[in-house]
Amino acid sequence: MKFIAFNVRSDEEKYFKAWEKQNDVQVECVAAPLTTEKLDGLAGYDAVLTLQTGTYPEKMFEKFKEVGVKVLSIRNVGVDNIDLKAATENGILVTNVPAYSPNAIAEFSVTQLLQLLRNTTLFRRRVAAHDFRWAPFVGKELRSLTVGVLGTGRIGRAAINIYRGFGAKVIAYDLYPNPELKKEGIYVDSYAELFAQADVITLHMPATAADHHLIGAEAIAQMKDGVYLINTARGALVDTEALIAGIKNGKIAGAALDTYENESPIFNHDLKDQPLKDTVFKELLELDNVLITPHVAFYTETAVENMVTIALKSAQEAVTKGTTATLVNQ
């Protein structure tokens, strides 16, 4: 059995090598992304492993079928930018990693909120300028706030537990409520109801066509004045221009964004000394009450190991058994 993995970072390599040795499966690691030019070189490989972010070559699955690749194994959760219909039509199995470390993302989202509530970015800038005054940046205590959680899957539930530990009131909305949480009565009946009640809105849901720009001008207008927005989920959930307008007019007190709707050309690239071509993103960066991180909420040692090993195991099972628990196009 022979696999090839694309977009392999240096922090992933040791986990690939350890799994390869333990399972007697040849795994070739490539730092570059999968491109059209590389499709012709895939003959002889049983599975291709790559990351969800970015774009994929046109007619990729047709080429997989032609050269004998049986499985595409994604080292992430999201498969919203993968043509699953084309994969199925060409007999290619697609797998993902449904949960590599829910706590990593949940902890990060709360960390970012705490920074917003205590104005740490503003204080860092003042201290760097040798201005050690406090006012006017008085903070807020999390226990005094109502946190609205959109999406109560593994990550959302982990976040709920952390927020409760701080003493915050938690409400939630999910199209598919968790039975245990439903018994506790934390769910509201609509997005609008959550928007109207929450001091903090934190996103932990997948991106679908129906939820594109869920957080837009109309939704923001329904929110409480001075609301905080945390997005460690998917960039497409937020209309960035509407968000900027909400921040500038004071409707939104602060936002923490670990993902951005047009992030692929920016995140995980070294762009220092280069002008930013994305004027909307540049405007975000200039806002004092916006925290931007380059899609790193997941990025812990535990999560990286799980992403690699689960993706490899899924590919192995899919090749040998024709199915696996992480199959997404069955």
Q: Which residues are catalytic?
A: 234, 263, 295
Question: Rounded CA gap, 300 and 132, in Å?
Answer: 34
Report whether the peptide linkage leading into residue 136 is cis, meaning its omega lies within 30 degrees of zero. Answer: yes
Helices (H), 240-300: 240-248, 279-285
Q: Which of 292, 261, 238, 251 lies closest to 115, judged by CA?
A: 292
Helices (H), the chain: 10-23, 36-39, 60-67, 84-89, 102-117, 120-128, 154-165, 179-184, 191-197, 217-222, 240-248, 279-285, 301-321
The torsion of the CA quartet 314, 317, 318, 320, rounded to 10 degrees, works out to 160
User: Cα-flanking dihedrals φ and ψ of residue 300, to 5°?
Assistant: -125, 165
What is residue 208's three-state secondary structure? coil
User: Cα-flanking dihedrals φ and ψ of residue 33, to 5°?
Assistant: -75, 165
**Non-local CB neighbours of 319 within 8 Å, separated by 6+ positions:** 1, 46, 47, 70, 71
Q: Which of 4, 95, 82, 92 lies closest to 42, judged by CA?
A: 4
Contact assessment for residue 194 and residue 201, using Cβ atoms and an 8 Å cutoff: yes
